[in-house]
């Protein structure tokens, strides 16, 4: 398997297919590069070079006891882009990967052409006086409690419920999608998955303000993980060259459930 070794000795697994302008994908919690299958094959067939990695503690990458935080994720991504000598790249991040992308682009814009934040917690997703529609602290605590109590069972409940909107009355749940989410989640480490929750309590406003390249923010207005009505619209207000595309009724995991719509929209933004 192709890997790089970071400065602190962690092996990071990655996929690198095709040629042309590079598109780099950063996955959400607690998933892996495999969650980008529908996008990687689509953009590969449209003439792009596609790269995706398993974040440390996830999937086929090492499971270190330290460094499961945004600072190290950004350093790992920077090590990968440097190793592959990627230039003029488009970075696309989903959910937690959106926070990773925002923080990376804010620090390494010389290598970046554009960025996309999909169902991202940026600028911040927690509830406070300025963000009353955000998730309350009890919600984050409940996620960590679910991980500790019975991670295997919890990782059935999340995709079967709010992640893909399969808990909505008119939804048609896909057992294959639920099983694939569980497979990816259980391939990672409990410690990294627990620690990742703390990244959802961070404020990424200052990172967004530093970004000057074009950024597309994509969000479903029925996102039950990162509520659309929280701070999502304000992400564009903090970007110097940002645009927002809202998807009525789409869930947090819309990259999977609505890839037929999302992929062409991504392609149009990249080509514009």
Q: Which of 72, 91, 94, 252 is catalytic?
A: 252
Catalytic annotation present for 72: no
What whole-number distance in Å separates Cα of residue 205 and Cα of residue 189? 29
Catalytic annotation present for 243: no
* Cα–Cα distances in angstroms (integers) from residue 174 to residues 57, 95, 250, in the given order: 27, 21, 15
Name, in order, each residue with C-beta under 8 angstroms of 223's C-beta and a sequence gap of 6 or more: 119, 232, 250, 251, 252
Give residue 203's Cα distance to chain centre. Answer: 16
Burial class from Cβ neighbours inside 10 Å (0-12, 13-18, 19+) for residue 250 reads buried
Instruction: Look at residue 74 and give its three-state secondary structure.
Output: helix
Q: Which of 26, 95, 103, 119 is catalytic?
A: 95
Pairing outcome for strands 89-94 and 22-26: parallel
Catalytic annotation present for 252: yes
In 122-252, alpha helices (H)? 137-158, 175-186, 190-196, 205-210, 232-238
* Cα–Cα distances in angstroms (integers) from residue 267 to residues 16, 47, 88, 90, 112, in the given order: 19, 11, 15, 11, 16
Q: Which of 223, 230, 231, 258 is catalytic?
A: 223
Instruction: State the catalytic residues.
Output: 95, 223, 252
């Amino acid at each position: 398997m192709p890997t790089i070794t970071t400065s602190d000795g962690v092996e990071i697994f990655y996929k690198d297919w095709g040629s042309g302008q590079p598109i780099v994908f950063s996955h959400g919690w607690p998933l892996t590069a495999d969650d980008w299958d529908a996008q990687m094959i689509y953009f590969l067939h449209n003439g792009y070079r596609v790269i995706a990695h398993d974040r440390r503690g996830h999937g086929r990458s090492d499971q270190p006891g330290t460094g499961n935080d945004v600072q190290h994720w950004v350093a790992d991504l920077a090590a990968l882009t440097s190793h592959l000598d990627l230039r003029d790249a488009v970075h696309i991040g989903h959910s937690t990967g959106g926070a990773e992308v925002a923080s990376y682009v804010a620090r390494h814009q010389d290598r970046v052409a554009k960025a996309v934040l999909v169902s991202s917690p940026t600028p911040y997703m927690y509830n406070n006086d300025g963000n009353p529609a955000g998730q309350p602290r009890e919600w984050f605590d409940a996620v960590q409690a679910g991980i500790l109590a019975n991670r295997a069972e919890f990782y059935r409940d999340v995709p079967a419920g709010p992640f893909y909107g399969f808990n909505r009355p008119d939804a048609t749940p896909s057992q294959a999608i639920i099983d694939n989410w569980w497979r990816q989640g259980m391939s990672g480490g409990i410690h990294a998955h627990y620690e990742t929750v703390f990244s959802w309590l961070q404020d990424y406003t200052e990172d967004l303000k530093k970004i000057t390249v074009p950024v597309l923010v994509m969000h479903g207005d029925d996102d039950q993980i990162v509520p659309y009505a929280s701070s999502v619209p304000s992400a564009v207000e903090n970007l110097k060259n940002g645009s927002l595309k809202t998807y009525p009724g789409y869930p947090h995991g819309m990259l999977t459930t609505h890839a037929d719509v999302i992929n062409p929209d991504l392609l149009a933004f990249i080509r514009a």
